[in-house]
Amino acid sequence: MSEKESVREKSGHEESVRAPVGDFPFSLDVRFESGGGFQWTALWEALDRLLDDRDGPAAFLGLPDDHDALESVLGAVGRVPDGFRRVLVLGIGGSGLGARAGLEALAPLETRGRAREVRVLSNVDPSSVADALDWFDPADTLLSVVSKSGGTIETLSQFALFADRILAFGGAKALADGVTIITDPESGPLRAMASSAGCATLDVPPLVGGRFSVLTPVGLFPLAMAGHDIARILEGARRVIDGVKGPDRSMQPTIRSAVHHIGLMHQGVSVRVLWAYCDRLASFGDWFCQLWAESLGKVGESGRVGQTPLRAVGSTDQHSLLQLFMEGPREHCLTFLRVGGPWPHLEVPDMTALAPALGEFAGKDLKDVLDALGKGTMAALLEEQLPLVDMQVPDLDEESLGALFMHFEVETALIGYVLGIDPFDQPGVETGKLFAHGLMGRTGSEDYGRQAMRLLGGRG
């Protein structure tokens, strides 16, 4: 099939473009209001620049083929003593969201080898950290500390608390044996601590930004410790890369979605909703929100650009957000993410004797009820002519998860290149960190502390 061929169904002002993807890990059906012609030449030029940057700022594209990194993760997992039956990951933002998303998405799957219970602690909310300290037992829980820079405020302050607990339990040897640090290969406070304490380490590739790092040891180590097949995760990601480079790339789901959302951004659609009809993908929505917001919310040559991401879960948010989407400002586009399996089989019993209204559900699988709610919601939104993408994942397994991660990463980076902004930096995040260091009294940051106090009106 050529780049210009597609499967189209037109009805009124709506156009549906379905990407024929064969046995690809997911399918994608785009519906939108027909607008002006899209500049495909500009898209292909941006895609070529992105692919050419594989050895530079777009280094995340090469992760599926980084066999040395895969072997280093598997080796590190194999060296963890059998006595560690649990793992606590300390990591915030890109250092924690991807791991949590993967752990929750793959939770129902059968695990391999010595699968451990893995939890992720991100925020420094004292109540959350206190709960984690209560759960943490240095005798059977490995501490995995993740920060690309090695200087993340939240992670370092948490680490101090847990390191104190480990040292009190078993001294320097317990710290060396019970901590794995994932950070920059050469620099940063965590790298220095690992060297002095003798902790095991894994490297975050220097050219891969935190929010694009889920397919590095940042995400792969926790998932492998939980017993999941990380080689299959990378294989799913590789299939996305192969697709965007292939002869039918105009019909590849990632390209179709990028074209759709670039057009909507140019039309002023300011909010993108990722609506997963699967509780296990709620944290995946959180991961996506960081990726989309930090990558595309920038000041470009023509001014401020970006689109606000919003995570929704079905059917729960039919009872909260749907009213806004249906009758509120016309500023939303929606991506539905629906899963074929695995699901537990729960057949609703015939309870019409208790109440006639229950007869509607008698004999139906609960998954069919969820599907009907999702399809009904999509139909309602389409009737209102809201732009909508329907992504369907037949089997939510390691391969499809890897494909989803890479799909959204490539789509995000490609849109950044088309918009003429850098999707890999986050200059707007840094000022708040400088003020925070000043408020905590870091030497050399006193001016930031004083300026923060002035801006806050003297309120500490």
Q: What is d(CA 106, CA 102) in angstroms, rounded to the nearest whole number?
A: 6
Helix (H) or strand (E) holding 12: none
Q: Could you say which DSSP state residue 278 is in?
A: S
Tokens representing 437 are 């260091």
List Cα–Cα distances, 405 to 211, 229, 249, 311, in angstroms. 11, 15, 18, 15
Q: What is d(CA 341, CA 397) in angstroms, rounded to the nearest whole number?
A: 9
Peptide bond preceding 11 in cis form (omega within 30 of 0): no
Q: What is d(CA 452, CA 460) in angstroms, rounded to the nearest whole number?
A: 9
Distance of CA 111 to the CA centre of its chain: 21
Exposure letters 54-78 (e unless 16+ CB within 10 A, then b): beebbbbbbbbebeebbebbeebbe
Helix residue spans in 345-391 (DSSP H): 366-383
| Look-up of token digits 């732009």 | 387
Q: Kindly list the catalytic residues.
A: 294, 319, 433
Are the C-beta atoms of 154 and 429 separated by less than 8 Å?
no
Exposure letters 211-245 (e unless 16+ CB within 10 A, then b): bbbbbbbbbbbbbbbbbbbbbebbbbbbbbbebbe
CA nearest to 402, candidates 216, 232, 223: 232
Helix (H) or strand (E) holding 343: none
CA nearest to 119, candidates 140, 138, 144, 139: 144
